[in-house]
Every structure is written in structure tokens, then in C-alpha cells.
Chains A and B, each alone.
Chain A
Amino acid sequence: MADATGILVFGEAPQGELSSTAQELLAAGRTLADSLGQELAIGLIGADLAGAPQQAIAHGADRAYAVTNPSLGEYHPDLYLAAMQTLASEANPNIILIARNNEGRELAPRLAFRMGVGLAQDCLEVSADASTGKLLANRPVYGGSAVAVVSCNQTPQIAAIRPKTYEPLGADAGRSGQVVNFPVEIDPSAAKTRVVDVVKEEAEGIKLEDARIVVSGGRGLGGPEPFAQLEELANLLGGAVGASRAAVDSGWVPANYQVGLTGKTITPDLYITVAISGASQHMAGCSGSKAIVAINRDADANIFKDARYGVVGDWEKVIPALTETVRELTQS
């Protein structure tokens, strides 16, 4: 589209609070907006957004659209897409950023196809060329074995950003910006799917995504029983337990334990891997950890290339001794 200008970020505000993912997108968008000398706007979608638009301005937006309709209180991909397309057509941005979270995994590609433009998927880093206005995106491909640098050929240029790759800017109540009320018409018949039941399988204790320390187990554990030992260690450390896809596919732990490209993205301070080989698809979900510990009997395992600390040894001997020492250290 001609004369497209500005950056438009789509964000979530459950219960009227700006989500941390939206804050990350605003940080990414702020860098692009400043390098292009263009405005940064955010589109927040919901039935009632409360103070979230003002929070978005404090977190870096120049303009916050409150995109509202009573039918947008609960996430529905078809209805959210209709709202996003309405705002995108009205705002006519040069660049759109969407989080590649559970919702963005379906919204970003569908919005791109609906608008007939390209999408840079699952980006770790985005930058903009001030002379051309072009967005350049680095995105892992082949399960993270390689990185592709891509750009979009039409506007709006759309990029989906991997969660937890950008740090929020932090709230600055002194920042000024404009809140725009943007009620949208939504045709309820646009909803082609219906949620008929919701089943929660939440693990007990601290959430994997929020844990400061995560202990993860892989194929080398050989069965479900050893996860009880990892649980004990994680509890002592105030952390959570994760798993590789191999452990999930073997049925040893539920799917929501999975860390990796197609599982959860986590960024703990300490990530302790036990009998995990370190395939790039797994590392894609944990490479933002501050420090990785590798416990593996194979000294050539790839995990040692990403780890800061390593023990080459048998987990059956390492974990009990590690747990005992941690118990002494944390309880003395």
C-alpha cells in the first residue's frame, strides 16, 4: 500500500493488564520506530481494556488503539483477525509486529495471507533500514541449525517475534502518547469454530514459563520414574521441571512440560539439563537461559556446546549427590 508509515504492534491485555509479551513487542517496535523516525502504535484487542492503553504508552507506544467490541472479551482467532484487519487497514502501517505465542502462531500467518503480504516468521531480531524503510529479520530455520535473514516485499511488512527475545523497556509514567478509542464492528458469524470444552492440565507448583530455575530431563533418563528425582531437585531449588520432546513423545511426562521449538520458550536464570543431548530444536526453547548446566554421560553431546557448566557422568549417580548437596546448602 502506498504511503504506509509507522510501526503497529498487536498486544494482549488480559484482565485489563498489558501482557509482558506486549511489553516485549513494544521494546522491539520502539527500536524500529526510532531508527526509521516513525510512530510506534499498539493495537490492543478486547471487550474492556481498562488501563492497558495507558500502560502501553508508559512502555513505549506513541499511540494506543483500544480496539473494542463486546464479542472480543475471549480470544477467538476468527474474530480477533477481523478486528486486526480493520485496524491494519485504517492505520496503514509500514511494519506490523505480532508475538509468536500460542495465539500469534495462528493470527500472524492468517493476517498476512488475508492481506496478501509476506510474513517473517518466528524472528529473533528485527531491524529497519532508514533509507528504504525495509524490515530485516533474523529467523532460525532447520530447527535452529541455521539462521535466515529475510525481508518482506510488500507493505505492511509483518514479522512474528519469538517471545522472550526482547526485554521490556520498563514503565515510564512520564512518557506521553495518545489513546485512541477504536470500537469495531464484528460480525459474530465470522466465527467458524466453537470451543466446546476447556481441559486444564496445569502442573503443580511454579509455572515452567515463570520459573527462575528449571530442571529438564530427556531421552537418556530411560523412563518416567526418574522425573520424580528431578521434581525433588526442582522443589529444593524453588524451580520447575521441564522435558525434551523425546521424553514427551515417549509418554513419560505431559505435553505441557515440553521445552523447545514446538514446546515452551523459557528464559530461566539457571537451566539444568539431565540426559538431554541438546538438539537444536530443544535449544530453540531455552537458548535465552542465563546459564545452562549439562549433565550427560556422552562427552561429545551437543549440549556441552551451549552449557556454561558441565558434568560428564551418569545421571543416576549425579542427581542424588547434587540433590543432597543442594539440600545441605539451601537448608543451612
Chain B
Amino acid sequence: MPVNICVLAKQVVDPEMPAAAFRIDPDARQVVPPPNIPPVVNGFDENAVEAALQIKDEQGANITVISSGTTFALDVMKKPLSMGADELVLLQDDAFANSVDSFFTVQLLTSAINKLGGFDLIICGRQASDWDNAQVPLGVAETLGMACITLGKKVDVQDNKVVVERLAPDGFEVVEADLPALVTVSNELGQPRYPTLRGIMAATRKRPTVWTTGDLDLDDSQLEPRVTLHDLFVPEREQDCEIIEGDDDADAARRLALKLREDRFI
């Protein structure tokens, strides 16, 4: 039996953009998407797609990718399909703008997951590189009452169980749970594969399922905001750096050591 896998993926502004391109609109309390720099699939979510594809390679799986937001760059969000995922479901509505409130996002995603009939395994990136909330996967597991294993660097399915190598500060643990379960993965899982030409062609032909508010079974109390954003600002870096110079690099290094000794750091 192929494993029925869901991957949750988010479209984010490119975290690798030059620091100078990072702008916020303080009044709107939003980051201004940089012009000419396209958004990307959140990096940890690409690791999640890779984890799902490894299971698919091993024993067969059907992989559905779900994302929520107000607008999508379709060529960007089709990347998981071109890597080898099977279906794409976009929860797209202007009402889904509140991505700072993880509770809200979880209600949308769990409603969609239930509408799709549930999954054996849900794989998520550990956190999104925009709000760094690291809450949505855990909230989905809690809301659906699923077993939850975080920070995976390797994910296997065997005998109706998921077996995860979970990062620990001093190594890793091997943790298992009966399916259905939710697993979050980190970059230690390894580089996500590149889309193949065949994958890109196949993804071009696939059309995502798009659902709006009316398609999801949501009630007002579930959507009441849990968190209020009061301010958003760019912190100032105040440090004055003392550049140590010398006749050449080696001389500068010697002077650095003497300076560190003088200031009692070494």
C-alpha cells in the first residue's frame, strides 16, 4: 500500500536576499516583498518534500502538498510537484492574510486536511523563515490528535509505523510512532533534490486544487485571533568595529592577539 503523505509548505520571501533589500512597512507592520526577487518555497518545507519523496522512492507514496496564503507565485509553488509530489492544494483567500497568527493558519490547514480525508503521515518543515514561529506543525498535530515527532533528520515508514532520527543537542534519538503521525524535519535531512526536466513537464500539466473560505468548514470562534502584532521594526546594530590593521594579514593577526590580551579576553 502506498503511504498517503501530506506535506505542508509555505511560500516565503527569499531569505537569501541581500540584507540591503530587506524593507519593512512599519505602518502596515509587514515586510515589503523585494521587487525583482521572486518568493521561494520555505527551505525547511523543501526538506519535508525530500523526506516524503524518499519514502515514495522506497515503497511508494501519494504526496499531497498543502499551502495557505493570499496570493501564490504558481511557478514557485509548483516546485514540489516538479520534484515529484503528486497533488497541490492551495488555500487561497484574501481572508487568509493573517500569517502572523499560527492558530489561524492551523485552523485553515486542519480543515483542509479533514476535507481531504486525512493522511497516514504529515511531514512539515521545522519552521518558516519569515515569522520563525515554529508552531503550525505542532498545532496541526495537537488539533488532529496525532502523534508528533519533531526535528527529524531521517524519516522511514515500516510496518505501519514511522521511525525518525530526531536531532538532540548531543547527537540524535531514534523515535517511533504508530501511524497516523506528524513529523517535522530540519536541514540536517540533507539537500532537497533538484526537479528533473520530466518532473517540470509533468508539473506544468498539473493544476492545483484551489479552495477559498467557502470551501472550508470554518467557524468564527476558531478564527478569533490569538496573537496581536503591535509593532515591527528593524533592530539597530550599534557595535563599532575596531579594524585591526598591520603590514600584512599575518601582522594584523599578531596585533589582534595582542589586543585581545590587552583587553583581557585571552
Instruction: Give chain A's interface residues, CB within 8 Å of chain B.
Output: 77, 102, 105-106, 109-110, 112-114, 117-122, 136, 140-154, 192-202, 209, 213, 237, 245, 248-249, 255-256, 261-262, 264, 269-270, 280-281, 291-295, 302, 304-314, 317-322, 324-326, 329-330
Contacts and interface: CB of A to CB of B under 8 A. Distances in A.
A142 B22 contact: yes
A293 B233 contact: no
B217 interface: no
B102 interface: yes
B191 A249 contact: yes
Given A142-B31, A309-B244, A317 B250 contact: yes
B132 A110 contact: no
Nearest to B187: A249
A105 to B, nearest CB: 6
Interface of B: 13, 15, 19, 22, 24, 29, 31, 100-103, 106, 126-127, 129-135, 138-139, 141-143, 146-151, 153, 163, 167-178, 181, 186-188, 191, 224-235, 237, 239-244, 248-254, 256-261, 263, 265-266
Given A102-B168, A329-B257, A305 B177 contact: no
B127 to A, nearest CB: 7
A195 B232 contact: no
A272 to B, nearest CB: 9
Contacts of A196: 163, 174-176
A65 to B, nearest CB: 23
15 contacts: A110-B148, A112-B103, A113-B142, A117-B226, A118-B225, A141-B131, A145-B234, A146-B22, A147-B233, A255-B188, A256-B169, A308-B241, A311-B249, A312-B252, A317-B250
A70 to B, nearest CB: 21
Contacts of A122: 132, 134
Contacts of B138: 106, 109-110, 113
B233 A146 contact: yes
A119 B227 contact: yes
Contacts of B101: 118
B18 to A, nearest CB: 10
Given A146-B31, A255-B188, A121 B252 contact: no
Nearest to B233: A147
8 cross-chain pairs, A with B, having the tightest CB-CB distances, nearest first:
A118-B226, A313-B249, A192-B147, A325-B257, A321-B250, A321-B253, A317-B249, A201-B171
A291 B142 CA distance: 42
Contacts of A151: 227-228, 230
Contacts of B130: 141-142
A326 B132 contact: no
B248 A317 contact: yes
A309 B256 CA distance: 8
B226 A310 contact: no
A146 B191 CA distance: 27
Nearest to A315: B249
A119 B74 CA distance: 31
A197 B174 contact: yes
B97 to A, nearest CB: 16
B260 A201 contact: no
Contacts of A281: 15, 129
Contacts of B232: 141, 146-149
